[in-house]
Amino acid sequence: MFFPEYRPRRLRRTEALRAMVRETELSVKHLIYPLFVCPGKKVREEVSSMPGVFRLSVDEAVREAKEVYELGLPAVILFGIPEKKDELGSEAYAKKGIVQKAVSAIKKEVPELIVVTDVCLCEYTSHGHCGIIKNGEVDNDLTLEQLARTAVSHARAGADIVAPSDMMDGRVARIREALDEAGFQNVAILSYAVKYCSSFYGPFREAADSAPQFGDRRSYQMDPANAREALREASLDIEEGADIIMVKPAMPYLDIIRALREEFNHPIAAYQVSGEYAMIKAAARLGWLDEERVMLESLLSIRRAGADIIITYFAKEVAKKLKSL
Ligand code: PBG
C-alpha cells in the first residue's frame, strides 16, 4: 500500500486549523456600496435586472447611507440620475445637481461615512457617451474640462474621493490640477485606471439610464483582449496622481488584478459590476446556485487576486452575513 509523505489534508481537518492557515480575509472594511440617486422624494424604485438594488431619492439615499454606516461598511460610491440631460452633460457639474445634493445631505447626516463619487458624463449626456461629441466622435480634450469641473463640484459638495470612470486620456492629471487649484488637495482620486469595454455593464445602464444612443464605448474603454495595456494605463494614472487604481469588471479580469498587484504598490480596487451581480442573483433565483456561498466566494477570489478594496452591490448582504457568523 502507498502512503503519501506529505498530507495537505492535515491542516484542513478542523475549522480552527483551516482558519489558522487561511491566507485571505474578507471583511466589511474593504467594501464600498454603490448608490443610485434620482430626483424626487421618497423614491425607492427597484432596478429590474438588479434585485435588491434601488434608485433612491436623496432622502432615501441618506437613510440607506445611515444603514450602510451602521453595518460597519466604510464607504458608498454615488451615481446620479439627473432631472434632464443635454449634449454637454451640464447637470454633472451643476451646483444643485443630484450627486452634489446627495453628497452634502449624506455628509451632514453621516459625516464619518466615506463618500466616493463617480465622475463621468454618460448619465448626464443626451447621447449617453462619456464625453463631448465633436464631428461624431468623443473629443478627449474638451471632455477633460467637463470632468475637471464635475470633480471640483463634487469636492465642493463634500466628497472625500472622486472616481473618474470615463477613460479619457490625461483625466487624472487634469482633475488633480483642478482639485488642487480649488483648494481640495486632500480629496483623493480613485481612478478607474483599467476599465474594459465590457458587456457586463448592461444592468447598470438600465439602473443609470446611461446606454449610448449610438455606437459603443470601444474608442475609449479598453479592449478585453489586452493585458499589457492594462499595466500601461495603470502606470499612466499613477504618474498623473491617482491615489487608488481600479480594475473593472472584477471576476472575469482576476489576471489583471493580479498583474497590477505584482507591478504596483498603490492600493488596488476592483469593481464587481452589475452584470456579475445579476448573474449570481439570476442563477440563485432559478435555484441553480447557492447565492450566499457564491457571493462570499466571488468576493474572496477578488481579494485573493490582489484587490484591497471591492466595490460591490453585495456589500450590505455581506456585512449582514459576516455579522451573524
Ligand atoms: C460610468 C460607469 C459605468 C459603470 C460604472 N461607471 C457604466 C459604463 O461605463 O457603461 C458600470 C458599473 C456596473 O456595471 O456596475 N461610465
What is the per-residue pLDDT across 161-180, written as a single tens digit (0 to 9) for each?
999 999 999 999 999 999 99
pLDDT band (50, 70, 90) for residue 71: very high
What confidence tens digit (pLDDT) does each residue in 190-205 have?
999 999 999 999 999 9
Ligand 1 center from residue 201 Cα (angstroms): 6
- How many angstroms separate the CA atoms of 281 and 278, rounded? 5
Which residue is closest in CA terms to ligand 1's atom 5?
Answer: 165
Contact 172, 189 (CB under 8 A): yes
pLDDT mean over 301-314: 98
DSSP tag of 186: T
> Does ipTM come in above 0.90?
yes
Helix (H/G/I), strand (E/B), else coil: 137: strand
Length of the chain: 325
Q: Domains in the chain and their CATH numbers?
A: 26-324 (3.20.20.70)
Q: How far is CA 17 from CA 10, 12, 252, in A?
A: 9, 6, 31
Q: Helix 254-263 and helix 228-240: axis angle, to 10°?
A: 50
pTM: 0.97
What confidence tens digit (pLDDT) does each residue in 97-116 have?
999 999 999 999 999 999 99
What percent of the chain shows pLDDT beyond 70?
A: 100
Bridge-based pairing state of the strands 244-248 and 137-139: unpaired
Whether 321 is catalytic: no
- How many angstroms separate the CA atoms of 34 and 315, rounded? 9
Contact 315, 33 (CB under 8 A): yes
DSSP annotation string for 213-234: SSS-STTTSBPTT-SHHHHHHH
pLDDT band (50, 70, 90) for residue 325: confident
Ligand 1 center from residue 121 Cα (angstroms): 11
Instruction: Identify the active-site residue in 85, 107, 195, 316.
Output: 195
Whether 195 is catalytic: yes
Where do we find the cell 454637454?
88
Residue 9 in this model has a pLDDT that exceeds 90:
yes
What confidence tens digit (pLDDT) does each residue in 261-297 have?
999 999 999 999 999 999 999 999 999 999 999 999 9
Where b means 16+ CB within 10 Å and e means fewer, 197-225 reads ebebbebbbbbbebeeeeeebeebbbeee
The pLDDT value given to residue 175: 98
Which residue is closest in CA terms to ligand 1's atom 6?
Answer: 165
**CB count in 10 Å sphere of residue 66:** 14
Residue among 124, 129, 26, 140 at smallest CA distance from 81: 124
Q: Which atom of ligand 1 is nearest to the CA of 130?
A: 16
The pLDDT value given to residue 128: 93
What confidence tens digit (pLDDT) does each residue in 14-64 have?
999 999 999 999 999 999 999 999 999 999 999 999 999 999 999 999 999
Where b means 16+ CB within 10 Å and e means fewer, 42-56 reads ebeeebebbeebbbb
Region of 313 please: left (phi>0), alpha (psi -120 to 50) or beta.
Answer: alpha
The pLDDT value given to residue 209: 87
Instruction: Identify the active-site residue in 85, 248, 281, 316.
Output: 248
Where do we find the cell 469588471?
249
Candidate from 47, 79, 204 with most ligand 1 atoms within 8 A of CB, to mutate: 204
Q: Which three cell numbers stand for residue 216?
A: 459603443
Ligand 1 center from residue 268 Cα (angstroms): 18
Residue 74 in this model has a pLDDT that exceeds 90:
yes
